[in-house]
Structure 1
Amino acid sequence: MSGTSTLSTREISDFTAWDAANVLEYATSRFAAIWRALDRSHVNRTAAYKASFVRHLQWEVDAFVFPYTNICLVMNIHPTIPALLRSVMSCFARLQTGSITAEKLFQEFHTECSPNDQRLWSNHRIVSTYHHDWWKDRFDILGFQLPILNVSEVMEMTEDHFERLPMGTMLVPGPVITNQVESDALFNQIVAVRAHLLALGQAMEDLLEEKTQIAAVAAATMTQLEAPIDEVEQALVNSFTPLDNEG
């Protein structure tokens, strides 16, 4: 694969399994958005349109996928890869080996990589806007400029993506990783995983504490309202008593 991302601006030793999982999740979101745009498009899908579409998809995998899977191989880390992204990677691997043509890849992407497929479902990952969202324009005739992205820029896009996802579908931002050892990828991965587990545990503890406090305030409020409610109820009873006596 031809890589369009450069790795010089971010030290590989600072890149964790959590970073890789985040970037690949972001890439999956982009492919889900691209698929939805393609599915809704009424543009005539000529041979030139399909070829242009595949070229733009090639930029997507070169910018957001393969540089990070290569880093993972070098560092011996194994992030989770969503099913939709695995299908896209498989398509491009076969394209590079000559097993399929660009037109066949276009067909497979549209029919077999659908995020509506329950095995690949990814629509919950989609946000309203993306950086460099070429698929919103007539990319096949306008010549959308595809930039060369470095790792820092991709990480910034990833962080922005998770900030805009609805709560409950976003990944929890990872903590700062300390105590790593130079040239020991396996140990560093263990340190990173442990740090993230501790951060998740603390986040869960804080959430439970917040819910407990909210429940306590609600209970106290109900207790304070009991006396006024009793007084109102008694006043209503008393207001009907003279009427009953007159009857």
Structure 2
Amino acid sequence: MSNSTISATIAAESMSDDMHLDLADIAGIFEYATSRLSAIRTKLESTRLTLPMKTRWIIGQYLNWEGESFTLPWMSFCAGLSISLPLSRNLQFFIGVLSMKQVGLVTNFEEVYNAFMTLPAALAGPWQKGRLTRTYWTPWWINTANMIADDDFLHKYPNCVEVQRIIAEHFQQLPEGKVLITPATLTIPMCTPVAQQLSNIHVEVLHEGQLIVKMLEDKVVKAKMVAATMLCMDIALGQDVVKAIAATKRLTKYLKREAAQ
């Protein structure tokens, strides 16, 4: 099963639960995902030089699981509701790595691990690096020395209700009063500056197209009027010429008769 199929399945399963999400919940999910990435990165930094290739490959699998559990399905959910994603810089980088894996630019899970380890372990602000807590749900990164690939774990994902519970436990561990969530915001389709420009261009082109059609129609009408006028003129002119020729003939006969006398 492909990653995109898995993510779609997770999203569908999440929506089938008793789902009561608001914008703060969506922001909380991505805050938690960022915090987990920071905890994972901090732990792996202390062991990166001692991990064998097999372990790095397994870690790459678990990192992929992180994205499929706490990021990718919720990004799809937000996209369906036109919600602007409050993704930290670290989370954006991580999603970029997973995207490269999906399109084949990153070819295996060891490369996922190697790319993830280029992520800065500490950045300027808590929102960028995530706010670490004492405990995390299923902290698989704690014991990297004896890590194995748990296939049952790697193919099971938290549903909506479980995610809400996990997020609630995460915020209960944070110091009281530290509200650093960047709220998710709704975006109305076709209301971004670029979309507005494209819409305006579309309307102007449509309007100009209608004007051109109207002009051509007018030209056709004018052409018909001119043609009809010319036809009338030709007929009138032809009749005048015929009359002039007849008069000339009569005049010629008269002049010849006068000359003979």
Which TM bucket (shorter chain)?
A: 0.5 to 0.7
- 1:185-200 to structure 2, matched below 5 A, reads none
The one of 46, 49, 69 equivalent to 1:63 is 69
The one of 116, 135, 150 equivalent to 2:159 is 150
Give the letter aligned to residue 160 of structure 2: V
Give the letter aligned to residue 157 of structure 2: I
Superposition deviation, residue 75 in structure 1: 0.8
Superposition deviation, residue 119 in structure 1: 7.9
Cα distance, 1:32–1:160 mapped onto 2, change above 3 Å: same
Q: Quick check: 1:36 aligned with 2:42?
A: yes
Query: In terms of mean alpha carbon deviation, does 92-101 or 116-125 score higher?
Result: 116-125
Aligned mates of 1:43, 1:152 — CA distance in 2: 38
Contact 2:36–2:130, Cα closer than 8 Å, also in 1 = no
| SS of aligned partner of 2:64 | helix
Aligned residues: 174
Cα distance, 1:53–1:76 mapped onto 2, change above 3 Å: same
- 1:207-222 to structure 2, matched below 5 A, reads none
Match of 1:9 in 2: 17
Contact 2:32–2:130, Cα closer than 8 Å, also in 1 = no
| SS of aligned partner of 1:28 | helix
Match of 1:116 in 2: 122
Match of 1:106 in 2: 113
Question: Alignment RMSD, CA only?
Answer: 2.9
Q: Rg larger in 1 or in 2?
A: 2
The one of 138, 149, 172 equivalent to 1:132 is 138
TM-score normalised per structure 2: 0.59
Give CA deviations for 1:118-159 in whole Å, capped at 9, x if unaligned: 489755601111011101123764444524311110111111
Aligned mates of 2:130, 2:61 — CA distance in 1: 26
Unpaired runs of 5+ residues, structure 1, are 175-183, 187-247
**What percentage of aligned pairs have identical amino acids?**
24
Superposition deviation, residue 117 in structure 1: 3.6
Give the letter aligned to residue 109 of structure 1: F
The one of 75, 78, 97 equivalent to 2:84 is 78
Match of 1:20 in 2: 26
Contact 2:31–2:130, Cα closer than 8 Å, also in 1 = no
Contact 1:124–1:169, Cα closer than 8 Å, also in 2 = no
Contact 1:27–1:65, Cα closer than 8 Å, also in 2 = yes
Query: In terms of mean alpha carbon deviation, does 119-128 or 85-94 score higher?
Result: 119-128
Aligned mates of 2:145, 2:99 — CA distance in 1: 24
Match of 2:178 in 1: 169
Contact 1:114–1:120, Cα closer than 8 Å, also in 2 = no
TM-score normalised per structure 1: 0.62
Unpaired runs of 5+ residues, structure 2, are 189-261
Q: Quick check: 1:95 aligned with 2:101?
A: yes
Contact 2:34–2:130, Cα closer than 8 Å, also in 1 = no
Give the letter aligned to residue 158 of structure 1: I
